């Protein structure tokens, strides 16, 4: 009976991860519409499913209330908790309080699932559950592309691009970065009997390439490089310090070379120097940030079409974005520099603790939190992938931050 309950709980976790990934449901309910298409469809089914996941997550946390409370106290990530509280209280100054109320409720529950994921499962178990989730996504993406091309193929951006079970090709590309990272870590650690894991990694990369998501491909290459660079931190100081200096020197040379030849680099990747209009959008966004620099417009209170403050952006840019294509600018619009400061301080503290944990550990699993935080920092440069409600990225970020802090505290307690 106990094994059956554990299996059922793991099944719930995989189903929740699949839902938070944004796969399948939105694509089907929209009738295969593109992310940029203005299509009205009933989202009540999605809201009901998410509400059920919220309820089950809360029940599981309460069921293990002693462990949950212990986890909260021991992790004591005050900066992360403060950021979530700031989201909730932003209702008081929001330009659209009803939207802020709804979005803050979903963000809180997304964060609670991150708490559940980190407190219930070890890093190894987290990666295996993510592998099952992405395995389902990979299989369904190929099925949709072949059997249901109306849904699996995106045809409104020039030549057809694969989008699998997501509403946009960039959605598939972004998820395949995380999928590739998960399968790579598991395959690297397994060594023996890792064929199926390397197949998962290869199929993830193939889907990423077929999505033609350039930024996701660049992010994946950086993540793979970071995986090996982080392992240098485990070497003896006599070898580690010269190696890190060498890596830093090469990185600086590459940075200056890329800065001087940015146009050539962008053209070789099929992009223009405006990053598909982003650099023209960002000055307009900064204009609006400086109107309410400290607290912003409330969580989700800015982008209200022609009826909100976003009308200035729409008139000035000549197109109709629903986010600033930058997680950091999105955070400033929502919560001002106070919110951005809380996030950056919390990120840096968790990142440093992640390095401390990697230094004292031996497995590839322990590098996962650092890699995901690195990915969040990179993806947020050109996509609003930071403080999103009902988002896999945010949920995994919460789990990563709490996991490294928990393992760091346990490590300290063992030495005492």
pLDDT (tens digit per residue) in 9-60: 999 999 999 999 999 988 998 887 765 555 667 789 999 999 999 999 999 9
Task: For residues 281-301, give the mean pLDDT.
Answer: 95
Q: Which pLDDT score is estimated for 91?
A: 97
What is the model's pLDDT at position 249?
76
Looking at the chain, the whole-number percentage of residues with pLDDT higher than 90 is 63
CA-nearest of 129, 5, 115 to 70 is 115
> Which residues, listed in sequence order, are joined to residue 161 by a DSSP beta bridge?
154
* Average pLDDT value over all residues in the chain: 88
SS (H, E, C) 112-170: HHHHHHHHHCCHHHHHHHHHHHHHHHHHHHHHHHHHCHHHHEECCCCCCEECCCCCCHH
How many residues can be counted in the chain? 416
Residue 258's pLDDT is 57
> What pLDDT is recorded for position 70?
79
Positive or negative, the CA dihedral 77, 392, 17, 102 is: positive
pLDDT exceeds 50 at position 416 = no
Per-residue pLDDT, 166 = 95
Specify the pLDDT at position 279. 77
Residue bearing the bigger pLDDT, 71 or 83: 83
Angle between helix 368-379 and 123-147 (nearest 10): 50
Res 159: pLDDT: 74
What is the pLDDT confidence band of residue 362, given thresholds at 50, 70 and 90? Answer: confident
pLDDT given for residue 267 in this prediction: 58
pLDDT value at residue 156: 67
Query: What's the pLDDT score for residue 387?
Result: 92
Describe the crossing of helices 327-360 and 278-289 by its angle, rounded to 10 degrees: 100
Q: Give strand pairing partners of 162.
A: 153
The per-residue pLDDT for 412 is 46
pLDDT digits (tens, 9 = 90+) for 141-183: 999 999 999 899 988 666 788 999 999 899 999 999 999 999 9
pLDDT at residue 414 in the model: 47
Kindly state the average pLDDT of the residues 279-296.
93
d(CA 79, CA 387): 14
Residue, of 279 and 268, whose pLDDT is higher? 279
Q: Which residues pair with 154 in a beta bridge?
A: 161
- pLDDT tens for 197-253 read 999 999 999 999 999 888 899 999 999 999 999 998 887 778 777 876 777 777 667
């Amino acid at each position: 009976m106990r094994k059956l309950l554990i299996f059922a709980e793991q099944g719930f976790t995989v189903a929740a991860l699949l839902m938070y990934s944004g796969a399948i449901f939105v694509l089907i309910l929209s009738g295969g519409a593109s992310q940029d298409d203005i299509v009205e469809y009933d989202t009540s089914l999605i809201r009901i499913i998410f509400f059920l996941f919220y309820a089950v997550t809360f029940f599981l946390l309460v069921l293990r209330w002693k462990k949950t409370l212990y986890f909260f106290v021991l992790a004591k990530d005050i900066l992360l908790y403060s950021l979530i509280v700031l989201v909730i209280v932003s209702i008081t100054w929001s330009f659209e309080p009803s939207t802020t109320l709804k979005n803050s409720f979903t963000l809180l529950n997304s964060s609670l699932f991150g708490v559940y994921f980190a407190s219930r499962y070890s890093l190894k178990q987290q990666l295996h559950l993510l592998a099952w989730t992405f395995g389902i996504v990979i299989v369904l993406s190929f099925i949709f592309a072949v059997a249901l091309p109306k849904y699996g193929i995106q045809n409104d951006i020039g030549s057809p691009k694969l989008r699998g079970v997501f509403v946009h090709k960039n959605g598939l590309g972004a998820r395949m970065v995380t999928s590739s990272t998960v399968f790579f870590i598991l395959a690297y650690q397994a060594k023996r009997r890792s064929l199926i894991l390397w197949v998962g990694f290869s199929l993830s990369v193939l889907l990423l390439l077929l999505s033609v998501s350039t930024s996701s491909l660049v992010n994946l290459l950086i993540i793979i490089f970071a995986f090996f660079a982080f392992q240098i931190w485990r070497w003896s100081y006599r070898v580690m310090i010269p190696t890190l200096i060498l890596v830093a020197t090469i990185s600086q040379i590459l940075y200056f070379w890329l800065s001087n030849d940015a146009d050539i680099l962008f053209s070789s990747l099929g992009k223009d120097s405006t990053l598909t209009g982003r650099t023209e959008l960002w000055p307009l966004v900064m204009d609006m940030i400086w109107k309410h620099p400290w607290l912003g417009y409330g969580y989700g209170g800015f982008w209200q079409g022609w009826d909100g403050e976003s009308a200035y952006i729409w008139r000035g840019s000549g197109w109709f974005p629903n986010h600033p294509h930058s997680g950091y600018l999105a955070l400033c619009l929502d919560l001002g520099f106070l919110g951005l400061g809380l996030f950056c301080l919390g990120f840096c503290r968790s990142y440093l603790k992640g390095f401390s944990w990697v230094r004292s550990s031996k497995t590839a699993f322990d590098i996962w939190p650092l890699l995901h935080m690195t990915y969040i920092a990179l993806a947020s440069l050109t996509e609003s992938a930071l403080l999103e409600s009902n988002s896999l990225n945010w949920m995994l970020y919460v789990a990563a931050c709490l996991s490294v802090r928990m393992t760091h505290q346990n490590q300290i307690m063992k030495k005492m």
